[in-house]
């Protein structure tokens, strides 16, 4: 992974911006900072950051509204920050399309680790396929029933209709489709998708699953089956 990525840090606390900016800059990233939601949107549009670290509670416009507007325009990775140690707050952030979440106070080292992990997943999603010019039969595909994943183009489909997934959501579907019929625990799904399982709770994982289901339902599909008290598996192809 290259180190010239631009990170937009957004927080109304100048001390957090200073500490986070120093750590992220020392890790080899270019940083730009915003002190409120309005300024964050301006810099998002003009600075074209590769990732945004976004505080939830801010003046002018809170992080929730900022994330909604960003998601209407872009799939740029977003990591939420919050001073509220509340799991509901975490789940709401992920439902809005955030890629990760950190609760204050946080370790600058952990912030850098999260940034790197999210960028790796994002780069995998956006990496141009070397086989872009060759036929479909030569691409790496996973198919089960009406679900198809194109691993080279990082695309998901239901009956030929594309379903837009985040990097973590795509990783979860990749794990499920790699072993149709196998029941995966929540930890197995998150580890296999590239998300450190030690950083997430059961409710966070369930939130990702719910998001996947909602997206496929809009295309007319139901790709994931819940196995009570165990975890999840891909829906049977004959269902």
| pLDDT band at residue 165 under the 50/70/90 scheme | confident
CATH at residue 175? 1.10.10.10
Average confidence (pLDDT) over 80-95 = 65
State the residue range of the domain holding 197.
136-234
Residues 10 and 120 reside in one and the same domain: yes
For residue 131, is it within any domain?
A: no
For residue 126, what are the contacts with CB-CB under 8 A and spacing of at least 6? 154
Residues 18 and 114 reside in one and the same domain: yes
Residue 143 φ then ψ, to 5°: -135, 140
Contact (Cβ atoms closer than 8 angstroms) between residue 172 and residue 166: no
Residues in a beta bridge with 102: 81
pLDDT digits (tens, 9 = 90+) for 174-228: 889 988 889 999 888 877 765 544 445 567 778 889 989 999 999 999 999 999 8
Please determine, for residue 239, whether its predicted confidence score (pLDDT) is greater than 80: no
Mean pLDDT, the chain, rounded, equals: 82
| pLDDT band at residue 9 under the 50/70/90 scheme | very high
Q: How far apart are CA 68 and CA 154, in angstroms?
A: 23
Residues 59 and 142 reside in one and the same domain: no
Contact (Cβ atoms closer than 8 angstroms) between residue 225 and residue 135: no
Q: Tokens in use for 153?
A: 């183009």
Domain boundary among 126, 149, 173: 126
For residue 239, is it within any domain?
A: no
Residues 10 and 29 reside in one and the same domain: yes
Within 10 Å of residue 181's Cβ, how many Cβ atoms? 10
For strands 155-158 and 147-150, give the pairing: antiparallel
pLDDT digits (tens, 9 = 90+) for 101-142: 888 888 899 999 989 988 887 776 555 444 333 344 445 788
How many domains is the chain partitioned into structurally?
Answer: 2
Q: Tokens in use for 51?
A: 């990732």
């Amino acid at each position: 992974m290259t180190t010239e990525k631009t990170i937009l840090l957004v927080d109304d606390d100048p001390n957090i911006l200073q500490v986070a900016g120093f750590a992220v800059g020392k890790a080899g990233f270019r940083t730009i900072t915003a002190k409120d939601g309005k300024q964050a949107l301006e810099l998002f549009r003009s600075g074209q950051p590769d990732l945004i670290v976004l505080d939830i509670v801010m003046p002018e416009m809170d992080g929730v509204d900022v994330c909604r507007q960003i998601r209407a325009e872009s799939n740029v990775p977003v990591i939420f920050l919050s001073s509220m140690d509340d799991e509901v707050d975490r789940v709401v952030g992920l439902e809005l399309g955030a890629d990760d979440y950190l609760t204050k106070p946080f370790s600058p080292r952990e912030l850098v680790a999260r940034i790197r992990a999210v960028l790796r997943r994002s780069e995998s999603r956006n990496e141009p396929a070397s086989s872009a010019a060759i036929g479909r039969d030569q691409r790496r595909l996973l198919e089960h029933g009406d679900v198809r994943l194109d691993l080279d183009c990082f695309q998901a489909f239901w009956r030929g209709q594309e379903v837009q997934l985040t990097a973590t959501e795509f990783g979860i579907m990749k794990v499920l489709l790699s072993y149709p019929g196998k029941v995966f625990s929540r930890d197995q799904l998150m580890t296999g998708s590239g998300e450190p399982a030690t950083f997430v709770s059961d409710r966070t994982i369930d939130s990702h699953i719910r998001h996947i289901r909602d997206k496929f339902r809009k295309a007319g599909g139901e790709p994931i089956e819940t196995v009570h008290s165990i975890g999840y598996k891909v829906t049977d192809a004959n269902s």
